[in-house]
Amino acid sequence: MNQTELYVSLDIGSSSIKVLIGEMTNGALNVIGVGNVKSNGIRKGAIVDIDATVQSIKKAIDQAERMIGMSINEVVLGIPANQAMLQHVKGVVAVNSENREITDDDLERVIESAQVMSIPPERELVNLVPKQFIVDHLDGITDPRGMIGIRLEMDGTMLTTSKTILHNVLRCVERAGLQIRDIYLQPLASGYFALSEDEKNHGTAFIDIGGGSTTIAIFQDGNLTHTSSLPVGGDHLTKDLSIVLKTPTEQAEKIKHQYGHAFYDDASDDELFEVPVIGADMKEQYSQRYISEIIGVRLEELFEIVLEEFYRMGIQDLPGGVVITGGVAKLEGLSQLARHILQTRVRLYTPEYIGVREPGYTTAVGLIRYAYMEDQFFNRFGVSNALGQSKKPEQNTPSVKKQKQVSGNDNKVGVMGKARNFLDKFFE
Ligand SMILES: Nc1ncnc2c1ncn2[C@@H]1O[C@H](COP(=O)(O)OP(=O)(O)OP(=O)(O)O)[C@@H](O)[C@H]1O
Ligand SMILES: [Mg+2]
């Protein structure tokens, strides 16, 4: 049976806010709406101005809504990884049913029991990711339902963040008039789908270089094991260019996109381009190689800090290499420079879906796919409230109409639907 579920993801980035409307049919994603607007009010991945952020979110939502002619109700929200912490947790329950068959209820209870771990008062739970289930003494189980047993255990990872950061993000989304379907730590959702199964298992660093921040996430044995966020990104490259070339920021950004190169040895020295100088009625000429030196210095420094972070995390070996994504992954020569400094295999990741073939969309795509994956696992279909009223009825697509008729069935939202409950609690 072809069942189509609709999801809307929201990635509040330092450079731009991305909104994707996606249809998931039998595991395949089809992006039917995109909003992407320059963000105001976010610096280094953290919200510094609520009003400005709310306005930017509204604009991005509006853009996506116009593409499909319907209003957006509910979003899957990404939580930035700055201040995120990972903690190993364990849950144990006795199997409830008389015939000892493990049911949805046991699964929910064991996940819940792992959440009993005390979370410090200044921190808040973002996600609880099961690593494995253990039935009696048999471990390595990915889905215990249907098995027979007495004792059900779960090993998992608890992802928490600072209350302040989360509170501000939630406040902005709420004030933009949106409900939240689920929240996921950004590198969890994006890395999970950007990396291959082998990469996730063998030990790989997933690096998202955005506008104001760089997020490192390590995946090992199939799970997210470490995450760290650095307050450096593409905006610093723009600023450096603006200062050294004495040109306005806007021009510097354009030059970076058009002629930018990260690796001096491969940058071209033949072609010259003109750059307007601030406060002077003149233009200067530069080559790609010249600006590659400015860009290269900053990125070299960034990759040196990444190496220090690996060291700090205790990562000695990355058999799966490094996978880089985020807007800056579009910069020519980036993978060469990364290979040179990190001394390992480096590949770039760009999502391969029509309309979003840009490395800056990795998180927004990952959020939709992660939400779908969890919904599948917990059989939570038919609960989507992603879209609401039609804005321009003549533009409705059949699948969108179908979605509108789906009735709410909240009791199907299992333990992992906690975001919703959690939000109710949060805004009481
Ligand atoms: N073709 C390109 N060449 C160089 N840089 C680029 C290119 N395209 C985008 N960028 C840069 O990528 C950055 C934006 O990336 P992205 O959209 O991933 O960031 P963000 O998610 O908004 O920010 P963050 O994740 O830090 O909060 C900007 O600095 C932008 O200039
Ligand atoms: Mg980002």
Q: Are residues 230 and 306 in the same domain?
A: yes
pLDDT over 90, % of the chain:
83
Residue 115 confidence class, pLDDT cut points 50, 70, 90: confident
- Nearest Cα neighbor of 53 from 138, 168, 135 is 168
Q: Are 30 and 173 members of one domain?
A: yes
CB under 8 Å to 235, separation ≥6 — which residues? 14, 15, 211, 212
- 167 and 24 in one domain? yes
Alpha-carbon gap, residue 86 to 128, rounded angstroms: 10
First to last CA, the chain: 40
Instruction: Verify that 365 and 306 share a domain, yes or no.
Output: no
Task: Say if residues 285 and 275 touch (Cβ distance below 8 Å).
Answer: yes
Helix axes 186-194, 362-377, angle to 10 degrees: 90
389 pLDDT tier (thresholds 50, 70, 90)? confident
Does the beta carbon of 36 sit less than 6 angstroms from any atom of ligand 1? no
Confidence of residue 383 (pLDDT cuts 50, 70, 90): low
Could you tell me if 380 and 255 lie in one domain?
no
Beta-carbon count within 10 A of 276 CB: 14
Range of the domain at 340: 197-348
Mutate-to-test residue for ligand 1 from 40, 165, 253, 256, highest number of ligand atoms within 8 A of CB: 256
Contact 378, 416 (CB under 8 A): yes
Query: How many angstroms from the chain centroid is the CA of residue 385?
Result: 21
| Average pLDDT, rounded, for the chain | 90
Neighbours of ion ligand 2 (CB under 5 A): 13, 210
Residue whose pair of structure tokens reads 């994707």 in the numeric block: 20
Q: Are residues 313 and 228 in the same domain?
A: yes
Q: How far is the CA of 227 from the centre of ligand 2 (A)?
A: 14
Instruction: Say whether pLDDT at 394 is over 50.
Output: no
Report angle CA 162, 167, 171 to the nearest 5 degrees: 160
Q: Is the pLDDT of residue 421 over 80?
A: no
- If DSSP codes are grouped into helix, strand and coil, which group holds residue 107? helix
Dihedral angle of Cα 255, 258, 262, 263, to the nearest 10 degrees: -120
Same domain for 122 and 155, yes or no, is yes
CATH code of the domain containing 238:
3.30.420.40
Q: Which residue, 194, 4, 188, 153, is CA-closest to 79?
A: 188
Distance between CA atoms of 398 and 402, rounded to whole angstroms? 6
Residue scoring higher pLDDT (412 or 89)? 89
Q: pLDDT, tens digit, for every residue of 247-298?
A: 999 999 999 999 999 999 999 999 899 999 998 889 999 999 999 999 999 9
Average pLDDT for 154-159: 96
Among the candidates 106, 140, 162, a domain finishes at 162
Say if residue 421 is in the same domain as residue 370. yes
- Confidence label for 388 from pLDDT (cuts 50, 70 and 90): confident
